[in-house]
Amino acid sequence: MTTPLVPESLRTVTVLAGGISHERDVSLRSGRRVADSLTAHGISVELRDPDATLLGHLSETRPDVIWPALHGASGEDGALRGVLEALDIPFVGSRATAARLAWDKPTAKALVARAGIHTPRSVTLSHDAFRELGAVSVLQAIADEHPVPLVVKPARGGSAQGVTVVDDIAGLPRAMVDAYTYCEDVLVEQKIVGTEVAIGVIDTGDGPIALPAVEIVPRSGFYGFEARYNAGETRFFTPARLDDTVAAAAAAAAVAAHTALGLRHLSRVDLIIDAAGTAWFLEVNVLPGLTETSLVPLALEAAGYDLGWLYAELAQKAITDHRA
Amino acid sequence: MVTTGSQQALDLVTRLFINPGDVVLAESPSYVGALGVFRAYQADVVHVAMDAEGLIPESLRETITTLEAAGKPIKFLYTIPNFHNPAGVTLSWGRRLEILDICRSHGILVLEDNPYGLLYFDQPAPQAMRSVDDEGVIYLGSFSKTLAPGFRVGWALAPHAIREKLILANESATLSPNSFGQFVITEYLDQTDWKGQIDTFRHLYAERRDAMLSALGEYLPKLSWTKPEGGFFVWVTLPDELDSKAMLPRAVKELVAYTPGTAFYSDGQGKQNMRLSFCYPTPESIRTGIARLATVINGEIDLLQTFSGANLTTPIPTRSSVTTPPPNTL
């Protein structure tokens, strides 16, 4: 085996993984996998948990690139990315402003809809609105306007935590409570019945391209936290079982959403394809899961990418973008 | 007989006695690590009610009568009489004698698990059940809580006939328990003031128990909880409408964790309970932790109140999709 050629500018990478969130374990697995892939590619990798010593350490060591593999709030909401921008060290993935927009699901939906992509009808409600207007009347108004099935989810957050599919309107109040425990704003969205797909979008320098769509078929019927992170709980089809025209339209929608939100390097767009073949935008992840059971690595492998090569290319792109 | 932690003794006893479908009686709630063993051998675990004085003899009698009427073979009663895990309570002396009588008269073996007995706070726990019945009781002891769990050294004191079988079963399971660990522990017991060390632990844990109880009183006065006189655990009962398992990810977000009550039942009970452990954190951290827990619990209660007019009792099919980390089985 020949040692892969590593560009002069890309010698040291710090992968950030862990953090304090319920997705910590997932992040550690993602980070370990990114680190191993980069190491196998001949790059010197340091894996760091973002703790109180991190910033001092980064200022001192100044790696060529930071590769954040942090899921959940601080990793994806732009907060940490803002700090990395201030440190003036190149990092992989979207900038803070774009990450912030994408992290807020109602904002992301509005921006994507403006770019002409379908997204399910929805209403976003703050906890305060319920307090001020009375839960019963607000819930009744929602029920009148939005027939079941509905999906109730925290406006910000990941891994389907606090998400409930409401098939019977009587379940709406409890679903609202569950979602509000994660976030003070809750999105109540029309559930589109169809094929659930996730499409990875990558950009190594020639513009964003869509990876093969991964079709998600959870055994329980609901792609919740357990179905996401326990091997065997969900079946995946890569590429998704869609006809070519529908698949191409879904891929175009994913790239358009990535572009409309101003994302860079890497993202994962979650869509539902209805019976007519229309792709509906649900949400986007600026740092998609990169574990052994995650969707983007599945798609990358299906498309024939070497993970180490791609992760190094993205790191290189981060350096190029930083210089620009 | 020396075993690889008393956990292995639990496994061996269960392997010897349980055929699939046989009944094991256990306190309500009971130790998660034992329930896992019983489940692995397909035992039918039936919980028996307890109160502040431990297992309730009358409930035991009723449960046995019902099971016998249904023709169910009851193999043994699994009990943690001292500073119970997870409930924190201690079985009174009077009840120990009464329970031994009940079990003897129904031909039910008692499996007495006593990892915490020496870790009392104010006064020693009552004598072991085994001390007054050497025929009907298998007693399990452990160095995990009084020295260190890493040695994996525990022991079973069993009636002669059972001991012979346990030794054979142990040989087939591990050939022999960790002899290096046993040498180290022997040296430790010979050469050090191990009783003095346990006194140090007792004072340390008592201080932490006090910190937890006073923080609960201060931050969550409307809840109820047990008042342990030894051991590691406080068992907290939440308002009916809260679900400790569903709440755990939210608590972790607030940087506090607990073991949901459901881990300590084989039948889905325990949603309204949580086990809090005071053995590891300092009193200051315990206060901080309880304050965070109060934020989570009060936040949930506040939300439930917002929606209280809107028929909140409807079950939600996807609640089971909330996952929790594996419980701490120590």
Whether the pLDDT of residue B297 is over 80: the answer is: yes
Where does the pLDDT of residue B309 fall: very low under 50, low under 70, confident under 90, or very high at 90 and above? low
Cβ-based contacts of B307 with chain A (< 8 Å): 130, 135, 139, 173-174, 176-177
Whether the pLDDT of residue A230 is over 80: the answer is: no
What pLDDT digit, counting tens, does each position of B244-296 carry? 998 998 898 889 999 999 999 999 999 999 999 999 999 999 999 999 999 99
Out of A135, A222, A227, the one facing B307 most closely (by C-beta) is A135
CB contact under 8 A, B307 and A220: no
CB contact under 8 A, B314 and A170: yes
**pLDDT for B219:** 97
**Contact by Cβ (8 Å): A93, A119:** no
Whether the pLDDT of residue B327 is over 50: the answer is: no
**pLDDT for A142:** 87
Cβ-based contacts of B315 with chain A (< 8 Å): 171, 174
H-run or E-run covering B189: helix B179-191
Of A158-172, B129-143, B147-161, B310-324, the poorest mean pLDDT is in: B310-324
Is A191 near chain B, with CB under 8 Å? Answer: no
Residue of chain B with shortest Cα separation from A134: B306
Where does the pLDDT of residue A115 fall: very low under 50, low under 70, confident under 90, or very high at 90 and above? very high
Cβ-based contacts of A165 with chain B (< 8 Å): 317-318
CB-count exposure of residue B262 (10 Å: 0-12, 13-18, 19+): buried
Cβ-based contacts of A20 with chain B (< 8 Å): 255
Q: What percent of chain B has pLDDT over 70?
A: 93
Mean pLDDT calculated for residue range A235-262:
96
**pLDDT for A226:** 72
Is A182 near chain B, with CB under 8 Å? Answer: yes
What pLDDT digit, counting tens, does each position of A302-317 carry? 999 999 999 999 999 9
Taking CB atoms and an 8 Å cut-off, how many pairs form between chains A and B? Answer: 83
**pLDDT for A141:** 87
Whether the pLDDT of residue A158 is over 80: the answer is: no
Where does the pLDDT of residue B325 fall: very low under 50, low under 70, confident under 90, or very high at 90 and above? very low
Out of A136, A174, A229, the one facing B314 most closely (by C-beta) is A174
Q: Which of B90, B71, B74 is nearest to B26 (CA)?
A: B74
Best of B318, B320, B322, B324 to disrupt the A interface (most A CBs within 10 Å) is: B318
- Residue by residue, DSSP assigns B68-83 as HHTTPPEEEEEE--SS
What pLDDT digit, counting tens, does each position of B30-53 carry? 999 999 999 999 999 999 999 999
- Residue by residue, DSSP assigns B295-310 as HHHHHHHHHHHHTTTS
Cβ-based contacts of B249 with chain A (< 8 Å): 22, 161, 182, 225
Where does the pLDDT of residue A1 fall: very low under 50, low under 70, confident under 90, or very high at 90 and above? very low
Out of B299, B314, B316, the one facing A181 most closely (by C-beta) is B299
- DSSP 8-state assignment for residue B270: -
CB contact under 8 A, A181 and B315: no
CB contact under 8 A, A160 and B321: yes
Rounded distance between C-alpha atoms, residue B111 and residue B115, angstroms: 13
Rounded distance between C-alpha atoms, residue A147 and residue B93, angstroms: 61
Mean pLDDT calculated for residue range B98-114:
98
**Contact by Cβ (8 Å): B122, B148:** no
* Chain B nearest CA to A83, separation (Å): 21
- H and E: helices and strands count for chain B: 9, 12
CB contact under 8 A, B323 and A226: yes
Whether the pLDDT of residue B330 is over 60: the answer is: no
Where does the pLDDT of residue B311 fall: very low under 50, low under 70, confident under 90, or very high at 90 and above? low
Cβ-based contacts of A167 with chain B (< 8 Å): 317
Residue of chain B with shortest Cα separation from A170: B314
Q: What percent of chain A has pLDDT over 70?
A: 97
Mean pLDDT of chain A: 91
Mean pLDDT calculated for residue range B149-160:
95
Where does the pLDDT of residue A114 fall: very low under 50, low under 70, confident under 90, or very high at 90 and above? very high
Strands A12-16 and A44-48: parallel
3-state secondary structure chain A: CCCCCCCCCCCEEEEECCCCCCCHHHHHHHHHHHHHHHHHCCCEEEEECCCCCHHHHHHHHCCCEEEECCCCHHHHCCHHHHHHHHHCCCECCCCHHHHHHHHCHHHHHHHHHHCCCECCCEEEEEHHHHHHHCHHHHHHHHHHHCCCCEEEEECCCCCCCCCEEECCHHHHHHHHHHHHCCCCEEEEEECCCCEEEEEEEECCCCCCEECCCEEEEECCCCCCHHHHHCCCCEEEECCCCCCHHHHHHHHHHHHHHHHHCCCCCEEEEEEEECCCCCEEEEEEECCCCCCCCCHHHHHHHHCCCCHHHHHHHHHHHHHHHHHC
Rounded distance between C-alpha atoms, residue B232 and residue B277, angstroms: 6
- Residue by residue, DSSP assigns B120-185 as BSSSPPPPPGGGG-SSSEEEEEESTTTT-GGG--EEEE--HHHHHHHHHHHHHHHSS--HHHHHHH
Mean pLDDT calculated for residue range B156-174:
95
Mean pLDDT calculated for residue range B2-24:
96
Residue of chain A with shortest Cα separation from B325: A22
Whether the pLDDT of residue A2 is over 60: the answer is: no
What pLDDT digit, counting tens, does each position of B49-78 carry? 999 999 999 999 999 999 999 999 999 999
CA distances from A44 to A198, A320, B86, B176 (A): 31, 19, 47, 45
Cβ-based contacts of B318 with chain A (< 8 Å): 163-165, 222, 224
CA distances from B168 to A182, B20, B136, B173 (A): 53, 21, 20, 9
Where does the pLDDT of residue A138 fall: very low under 50, low under 70, confident under 90, or very high at 90 and above? confident
Whether the pLDDT of residue A120 is over 90: the answer is: yes
CB contact under 8 A, A131 and B299: no
Of A219 and B111, more confident: B111
Where does the pLDDT of residue B328 fall: very low under 50, low under 70, confident under 90, or very high at 90 and above? very low
What pLDDT digit, counting tens, does each position of B227-236 carry? 999 999 999 9
Whether the pLDDT of residue A192 is over 70: the answer is: yes
CA distances from B157 to A311, B134, B173, B182, B205 (A): 58, 9, 18, 17, 27
B305 is written with which tokens? 């109140």
pTM for the whole structure:
0.80
**pLDDT for A248:** 97
CB contact under 8 A, B250 and A181: yes
Cβ-based contacts of A172 with chain B (< 8 Å): 310
**Contact by Cβ (8 Å): A121, A190:** yes
